[in-house]
Structure 1
Amino acid sequence: MKRCQAMATKKRGSQALIQSMINQGIKYVFGIPGAKVDQLFEDLQYSDDPNAPKLVVARHEQNAAFIAAGIGRLTGKPGVVATTSGPGVSNLTTALMTATAEGDPVIGLGGQVPRDDLSRLTHQSIPSKELMSFAAKSSVEVQDANNLSEAFMNAYTAAVSPKAGAAFISLPADVLSDDVDRPVIKTLTTPQASQASEKTLDKIVTLLKAAKLPVILAGMRASSEEVTTALHQLLAKVSLPVVETYQGAGIISHEFEKDFFGRVGLFRNQIGDTLLKQSDLVLAIGYDPVEYEARNWNIEHNDAVINLDSVAPELSNDYQPDMVIEADIAETITALTNKIPDDYRLSDQSVAHLNTLKEEFEDEKLVETEAKPGTVHPLSIINELQQRVDDATTVTVDVGSHYIWMARHFRSYRPRHLLFSNGMQTLGVSLPWAIAAKLVRPNEKVVSVSGDGGFLFSGQELETAVRLNLNIVQLIWNDGYYDMVKFQEEAKYGRYAGVEFGPVDYVKYAESFGATGLRVSDPTELGKTLDQAFSTEGPVIVDIPVDYSDNIKLKSALLKDILN
């Protein structure tokens, strides 16, 4: 009798893996099926547990991983992607590498040949664990079904631990189908936050009081809800200028607009670059060098730099902080706010200088020139879009010339609502991230912004968006070139090479997937077309012919320029 009871409690390896996901609140598994991982897909599809993750089939493994990473960026909890062996796993590489570079927690589950085929040159047998060790923070291969729950929970911990990123688990097919007789690991406890010591806080206050022009550089790890809230409380007590990185976009809310001094990234010619150059104290909060290397913004080596982060900084000739604080960022900012004297203020001279700096840059703001007939100027697109979104709207941005325009001129007032790939600058992220955003924020507007070059890297996921009936507005800035490369080649060589491609009818493309396709044939109809897109049910593509003639002004040097 006891033996029968024991047999009744047994699970397959894939079922133990699914229960581990349930215990951690995983809501979705994105992926593409295959023979080496079909047991997991079967058990997901037909699970009778209402809390089991929903299986969402994508149209390419890389895009499935982009969607999962988008879930990670938006929620701070890992998204999960599952693929079959061989090319199914290798197609994850770019997406997991991007997630690891840009701090997005994601767990990749890769099918593998049965264990007795691992050392043979057989169908779809590749060294998955070794391959992914270069793209992910951790990479393991499970050899016993009883270890599956442990492997998943350790992957979860690795994915969310600072610096967040990708974790990969290789799953031999026979391990997924084997019996498990150990209980799965329960829900993980949240690590206790720790703040900087009183002595450290006192030193920061001393440096702040001595500085004439302290500046906050808010990076990717300052964009969580907890850190943003703590930073707002600091700014409510004392007004300090803040410069955002691209992944820090939206940290500054409407309430603290006066403290916003732009974003930095790519070319060293923005108001934020000038302010960082002039500052005698930079408080870098959650800053990661992959966003914007210190050799770009700290060329002159500021008098003092304080690095406040949850991870140790990467040191270089251009980045050697005078203080390194490795602690919970939000807790430390809150404690610092309480430490700062109530009467602390920037000097009148510093405030006047900041006001003048803002006025100068407002006066020098790029003036829109008349676009070529039948095309639209980038600023017109941005201005029309800005009028049709609210603070809750999520805008995902692909890589290309449009990405620079959006990063510089489009305003967002909530963190992780304006998304950029600024570590790897990976083409194709925008539509998959938009799918993730609509799943996480179903009641809010979601806009994806791509160029015609980058859109087709992941455009097949339009079918996924149609199948899920997601209201996503996809803008395509269409000019017929890989223009971000083109205009930089022209700046460097006076000509361009290898950047042209043929036209695509994106209206028919959209319609072939069951989506709505709109085209801006008359530039004066842009606003009306956008209104139609936002009022249409389901995914909508808006094809916008763009005139990038003013692109060269994006790199015009206000400071010494660096072409990437």
Structure 2
Amino acid sequence: MTTRNGAHALVEALVAEGVETLFGIPGVDTLGVYDAFLDHSGLRAINPRHEQGAVFMADGFFRASGEIGIAVTSGGPGALNTLTAMGTAFNDSSAVLHVVNDNPAHVRRRGRGYFHDIADQKGVFRPVTDAFQQAVLASEIPSALHAAMTALKSRRPRPAMVEIAGEAFRAETDAPLLPRASADRAKAGEAEIARAAELIAAAKRPIIWSGGGVVASEGASAILLRLAERLGAPVLTSQAGKGSFPPDHELHIGNWANERPVRELIASADLVVVAGSRLSYFPTGGWSLKLPETIVQIDLDPAEIGRNYPVTLGIVSDATDGLGKLEAALAEAGHQPAFDPRAEIAQINQRIAQGVGTPVEIQVLDQIRKVLPHEAMVFNDPTTIVFWARSHWKAYRPRTWFVPSGFGTLGFALPSAIGAAVARPETPSIAMIGDSGVMFTIQDLMTAVEHNIPVKVMVFNDRGYGVERRHQDHLYGRRSGVDLMPPDFVALAHAFGATGMKAEDPGKVGETLSAAMDRPGPVLIEVPCDFKHPGYGSFVDWDNQ
């Protein structure tokens, strides 16, 4: 192997892994890496305006494409600036590789006041990484990267970090490149599948709960559809699972289990197949939801089996493999549905729609949905209208609906939508974000302008922290710190070199978005609003229906 320095060895290893795009900001010790980029014309480096933007973009890149997102930052403050984004990716199961430098050996973790000095960078990131590799020598860089990529491809998607000593980037090495990392995901065993098929065969009213693991597993959504139809089972999708099952299918019972009619249907079931979901807090109403006694849970992460609800049978498997084998076993056995729930589901969905009605928030969401094609990718912050969208938004395909459901991170939507647009440039990428949340990452609108990334950003301006305002009003009856003065967003967009638009009337949101979709490059749409927060439980007061 030709001798080259560690920086070039790193970039060669990334290219050998098939990496074509990365997101990052150069630092003193990583300048050699950016120099090495120039020798690889097929490698595209996107420059965000803050390090957390690099990881958010890498996160969005993965969510949109299923390909590992790559972020490169300097150590110390540059690395720590990414903690929120790394925590978001960890909680939401996104495969992000973060490459970062550490200080040279003679000052590393000695507290001598060296530049970017930090005592335990690895320890800081331990709670938000699933794999951590260190390369102290230049010769260790290819193997460290290979180990991290193998973990990212084989385990539950979660961030990995490769920390490289500053001097290793400059040192010479003839270390060979390794073959591209392969995926070795857990697969369901024959005995487990046979037992699951037995349990399902004995069930009279099975249901299916589909989570983000189905969306993330290539081909799993199509298998889920076949399985649901074979069982005649109602399908409920979690927030992360939106798009894993067609919302207009007769077996789809929605994606919000906190409505009374849905809870009643679940209570009448005698078995639930939980695929790629940990049954977390909000979808289960703070774990108050009563599930059937027989639970078959399929999850790639063994730690999630039975974490929140005790299970009858746990299957550690990728969703595609586990669901595929289960559907095949039932098909071979000639399984037929024990009952037909379609009329019951239609009645439930009609009751919920009538109970919710058509408040202005629903009208606005309907306008947006009508304008966007089914394949459009919608990235959301936890802003008020998105709480309405939890139940109401219809996601027709996998990898089209994204929320920071675990961390609830403000500022996520804009840079993540940029990363998604880079991954799938032919597909519309939309950010729905509040006026306060967008200010956390508004600087990356400049990134979209510089790289001509046609992201469309919808800023819902209620002049403050609308979600927290609702809490303060409810809990204390007075306000402090939640009413804020926003900038002129249209003028701000123009200052960045983007197109700025404003939908003055809630009835013209769809019309304005349609016009924005016809504009090239990034567009920011301000939507002045006074939306009401729907709360976290039911959208309907069922006692008064």
Q: Scaled by the length of structure 1, what TM-score is found?
A: 0.89
2:387 is matched with which residue?
Answer: 404
Would you say the 8 A contact 2:380–2:413 is kept in 1? yes
Would you say the 8 A contact 1:241–1:261 is kept in 2? yes
Would you say the 8 A contact 2:297–2:314 is kept in 1? yes
Distance apart, 1:269 and its partner CA? 3.5
| Structure 2 counterparts to residues 125-524 of structure 1, below 5 A | 125-126=117-118, 127-191=120-184, 194-197=187-190, 199-223=191-215, 224-253=217-246, 257-264=249-256, 268-269=258-259, 272-290=262-280, 292=282, 296-297=286-287, 299-314=289-304, 318-340=308-330, 341-342=333-334, 344-348=336-340, 350-368=341-359, 377-524=360-507
The letter for the 1-side match of 2:329 is K
Would the alpha carbon gap of residues 329 and 553 (structure 1) be closer, same or farther in structure 2, given more than 3 Å must change?
A: closer
Would the alpha carbon gap of residues 552 and 128 (structure 1) be closer, same or farther in structure 2, given more than 3 Å must change?
A: closer
Write the distance in 1 (CA, Å) between the matches of 2:84 and 2:533. Answer: 32
Deviations 1:272-294 (A, max 9, x none): 54543443211100112457475
Match of 1:96 among 86, 93, 97: 86
Write the distance in 2 (CA, Å) between the matches of 1:342 and 1:547. Answer: 54
2:27 is matched with which residue?
Answer: 34
Write the distance in 1 (CA, Å) between the matches of 2:242 and 2:322. Answer: 21
Would you say the 8 A contact 2:285–2:537 is kept in 1? no
Would you say the 8 A contact 1:32–1:57 is kept in 2? yes
* SS in structure 1 of the partner of residue 141 of structure 2: helix
Write the distance in 2 (CA, Å) between the matches of 1:143 and 1:559. Answer: 62
2:3 is matched with which residue?
Answer: 10
Unpaired segments of 5 or more residues in structure 2? none
Distance apart, 1:207 and its partner CA? 2.1
Match of 2:508 among 498, 501, 525: 525
Write the distance in 1 (CA, Å) between the matches of 2:15 and 2:117. Answer: 30
The letter for the 1-side match of 2:201 is K
Deviations 1:356-412 (A, max 9, x none): 3233223223332xxxxxxxx322221111111111111111112122122221111
Write the distance in 1 (CA, Å) between the matches of 2:101 and 2:335. Answer: 61
Percent identity reads 25
Q: Scaled by the length of structure 2, what TM-score is found?
A: 0.92
Would you say the 8 A contact 2:500–2:523 is kept in 1? yes
Would you say the 8 A contact 1:452–1:476 is kept in 2? yes
Deviates more, 1:113-122 or 1:65-74: 113-122
Would you say the 8 A contact 2:100–2:164 is kept in 1? yes
Give RMSD over aligned pairs: 2.4
Deviates more, 1:334-343 or 1:546-555: 546-555
Would the alpha carbon gap of residues 430 and 295 (structure 1) be closer, same or farther in structure 2, given more than 3 Å must change?
A: closer
Write the distance in 1 (CA, Å) between the matches of 2:472 and 2:495. Answer: 35
* SS in structure 1 of the partner of residue 52 of structure 2: helix
How many residues are treated as equivalent by the alignment? 537
Deviates more, 1:166-175 or 1:54-63: 166-175
The letter for the 1-side match of 2:179 is K
Would you say the 8 A contact 1:218–1:242 is kept in 2? yes
Unpaired segments of 5 or more residues in structure 1? 1-5, 369-376
Deviates more, 1:139-148 or 1:183-192: 183-192
Would you say the 8 A contact 1:108–1:167 is kept in 2? yes
* SS in structure 2 of the partner of residue 139 of structure 1: strand
Alignment of 1:62 onto 2:55: no
Would you say the 8 A contact 1:438–1:444 is kept in 2? yes
Q: Give the ranges of 4+ consecutive aligned residues of structure 1 lying more than 4 Å apart after TM superposition.
A: 270-274, 289-295, 315-318, 552-560
* SS in structure 1 of the partner of residue 161 of structure 2: strand
Distance apart, 1:343 and its partner CA? 5.1
